């Protein structure tokens, strides 16, 4: 939704109230939560669960941009989020888990990074590939997989380590935090 031109919303609550005012009365007053999340960056908007009738009512409002019907959103595992720190929990049900990471080249030099792995007490790390070759394009992406394999069974404990990608001129350290 586009904010009206003369609108000045001074708080998150004011924005949330505005979103609710756009919903049909049955959805706005429902005891079941309908607004799933809101956002305000390049544009302002919200995601909501609406019936077809409620959606048609919202689509007629000024400033309406788009709707995505029957959008199925799958559950995302926390290990699939591409955070700077890799966080993994090996439960008693899983002795191994594989995580895919994506890294980007931030310089315009052609470079090759070789892997150095921190040794850990109760987990073996298998990383593939062990070399990342960048052609020298800024924002060029490469992915690698890390398999965490439990080697020692013990009561749950935290373990820390890191991966180190090393080129001739740079090194990139990726911290790892595990519950094993």
Instruction: Give per-residue pLDDT as tens, 10-55.
Output: 455 666 666 666 666 655 555 555 555 455 544 556 667 778 888 8
pLDDT score for 112: 94
Q: What's the pLDDT tens digit per position in 47-87?
A: 677 788 888 888 888 777 777 776 666 666 665 665 678 88
Specify whether the backbone of 59 is left (phi greater than 0), alpha (psi in -120 to 50) or beta.
Answer: alpha
Residue 131 reports pLDDT greater than 90 = yes
Q: Can you read off the two tokens belonging to residue 56?
A: 């048609």
* Mean pLDDT computed over every residue of the chain: 75
Domains and CATH numbers, the chain: 1-73 (no CATH), 78-179 (2.60.40.2310)
Residue 3 reports pLDDT greater than 70 = no
DSSP letter assigned to residue 79: G
Residue 156 reports pLDDT greater than 90 = no
């Amino acid at each position: 939704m586009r904010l009206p031109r003369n609108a000045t919303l001074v708080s998150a609550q004011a924005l949330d109230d505005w979103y609710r005012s756009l919903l049909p009365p049955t959805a706005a007053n429902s005891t079941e939560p309908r607004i799933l999340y809101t956002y305000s960056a390049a544009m302002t908007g919200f995601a909501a669960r609406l019936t077809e009738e409620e959606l048609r009512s919202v689509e007629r409002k000024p400033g309406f941009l788009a709707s995505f019907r029957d959008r199925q959103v799958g559950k995302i595992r926390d290990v699939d989020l591409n955070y700077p720190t890799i966080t993994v929990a090996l439960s008693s049900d899983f002795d191994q888990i594989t995580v895919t990471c994506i890294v980007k080249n931030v310089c315009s030099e052609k470079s090759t990074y070789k892997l150095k792995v921190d040794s850990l007490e109760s987990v073996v790390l298998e990383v593939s590939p062990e070399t990342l070759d960048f052609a020298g394009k800024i924002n060029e992406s490469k992915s690698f997989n890390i398999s965490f394999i439990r080697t020692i069974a013990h009561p749950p404990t935290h373990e820390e380590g890191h991966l180190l990608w090393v080129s001739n001129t740079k090194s990139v350290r990726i911290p790892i935090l595990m519950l094993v």
